[in-house]
Homo-oligomer: A and B are copies of this chain.
């Protein structure tokens, strides 16, 4: 179906996408310039965050990219199954959490857990996800002017040739941006009904879980677990490593971790750390329990009607490895250098196909890095340092070094935090920090009002780490990351002279100012 000259509005795009998804024989959607046998600068195999941003950047630079995606929409798994539903569910979790803590207090009615439904929120997501898809198809065509073929499976013939929609496309370069999928632990019973991961959750859930066992200790495990628990589904997390002490997360400050994990337990979650899943057990084809080997060595059987796998993801390398002979690492990630070049010249890999965090900034910027190198720039993208976050019923955000890492690296480490860094003060009843999102907590349940810590090298006076649990600071950490990692860094003096917007969710500006007058810095 040639849509080149169709300028669909969002509603029309939505209809077309929904029709395409509903019909497995639906036609490919061709948005192609129409010249015979073009040679593209790059074909992006996969139009998720990495492919779409890479192609958009290449087009903006004057290059000629083509995106091919098996789905009838751009944007990939994020708006369809991954980050967007996760954020919707996390917002619901935050809201449910507040309604629970304040049940029958102030303007909050008695909390009615029968209203809080995982299944209903999944349906809300499904009913609405098409609009984000429609927007990305529209924007990429009308504003970003990139060519694409959607609803068409790509077969890589060689590094200059891709087949899709019954046609052959020729390209100078290939950018693999096929994303990743959840990977299952190797235990029996995962084929039973009632076992889900974040993909099948949104695609297949058809009943309301009442008890949940989560296998794995990943971000996904913590985020979805916090959501399930907030709806009233009794939730147990079974994790080999202590939560937030997995290899996938770096720079997790121990005080932050304690606040977060204690907070999950305080909300009724059972968290079994050092525990190994043994099997999922069932009756009549349906999961009814999970057998777990506890840290003590004993086995326990956890009754459940819902098992959720949060054990990580693995790239969709598919037939690309066979067709191209690219190097793939032990974890299934495609090996690339800092230009996103694979072992085969002219072939790039980006997004969740390569090492590093499976986060949006890396996906998009790795796609752009490939595009810029293809277009002749010599650009390296180093994602070894980055700001990170996760959601429980809080937003948890961090960047730079932990207190312990800083103490190992510097002689004179200064901590500025809220509640303050002092012994003997009654901090659980201290309504600080407080800010938008924690004002009601601060006034009524002060121990829930969050945690924040700034780590400073006292000698250079530079901020080397920042850590926050609460609401409303996540956006700021994008800029803090930039500021502390720029060559001149961010001194406590510069930070303390910024213009705070009171009540700022993190109080770093004003707390820094209270100490910046000192030649020799001190904790606060």
Q: Does A95 interact with chain B (Cβ within 8 Å)?
A: yes
**In the complex where A10-B426, A476-B475 touch, is A87 in contact with B503 (Cβ < 8 A)?**
yes
Bound together, the chains give a CA A517 to CA B472 distance in angstroms of 30
Q: How far is the CB of A438 from chain B (nearest CB, A)?
A: 8
Main secondary structure of the interface of A (DSSP, over half): helix
Known: A143-B420, A475-B473, A510-B364. A124 touches B505 (CB 8 A): no
- Cβ of A138: which chain B residues have Cβ within 8 Å of it? 425
Contacts of A448 in B (CB 8 A): none
In this assembly, does A451 line the interface, its C-beta being within 8 Å of a C-beta of chain B? Answer: no
User: Is A386 part of the contact surface with B, judged by Cβ < 8 Å?
Assistant: yes
Residue A374, interface by CB 8 Å: no
Residues from chain B with Cβ under 8 Å of A231 in the complex: 107
Among A87, A499, A516, which residue has the most Cβ atoms of chain B within 10 A? A499
Interface residues on A, range: 35 or more
In chain A, positions 400-419 with a C-beta closer than 8 Å to chain B are none
Interface residues of A in 264-312 (CB under 8 A from B): none
Encoded as 1 (CB less than 8 Å from any B CB) or 0, chain A from 496 to 519 comes to 011111111110011001111110
Interface string of A84-121 (1 = CB under 8 A from B): 10011011101110110000001111001001110011
Q: Which residue of B lies closest to A110 (CB)?
A: B109
Given A95-B440, A503-B83: A11 and B517 interface contact (C-beta under 8 Å): no
Point out which of A106, A368, A420, A444 has the most chain B C-beta atoms below 10 A from its C-beta. A106
At the interface, yes or no: A135 with Cβ under 8 Å from chain B?
yes
Q: Name the residue of chain B whose CB is nearest to the CB of A505.
A: B475
Other-chain contact of A444, B128, B471, B509, B516 (Cβ < 8 Å): B128
CB of A30 closer than 8 Å to a CB of B: no
Residue among B95, B429, B509, B518 making CB contact with A10, cutoff 8 Å: B429
Residue in chain B with minimal CB distance to A504: B475
State whether the Cβ of A424 lies closer than 8 Å to any Cβ in chain B: yes
B436 near A395 with CB under 8 A, answer: yes
Asked whether, in the complex, the Cβ of B504 is within 8 Å of the Cβ of A478, the reply is: yes
CB neighbours of A90 from chain B (8 A): 436, 439
Q: A106-B121, A365-B497 are in contact. Are A425 and B475 (CB under 8 A)?
A: no
Which of B131, B383, B506 meets A429, CB within 8 Å? B131
Bound-state CA distance A494–B486 (Å) is: 11
- Within A422-439, the residues touching B (CB, 8 Å) are 422, 424-426, 429-432, 434-437, 439
Residues 245-273 of A at the B interface (beta carbon under 8 Å): none
Whether A16 is near chain B, meaning CB under 8 Å from some CB there, is no
Q: Which residue of B lies closest to A435 (CB)?
A: B87
Per the bound structure, the CA–CA distance linking A513 and B53 in Å amounts to 8
CA distance A114 to B325 in the complex (A): 69
The residues of B that contact A76 with a CB separation of less than 8 Å are: none
Q: Which residue in chain B gives the minimum CB-CB distance to A481? A: B499
Distance A135 CA – B420 CA, assembled complex (angstroms): 10
Additional A-B contacts beyond A143-B514, A361-B501, A475-B476 (20; CB < 8 A): A10-B430, A53-B514, A56-B517, A57-B516, A61-B517, A87-B434, A88-B440, A107-B231, A109-B115, A132-B431, A135-B432, A139-B420, A361-B499, A361-B502, A364-B510, A372-B517, A397-B501, A474-B505, A476-B479, A481-B498
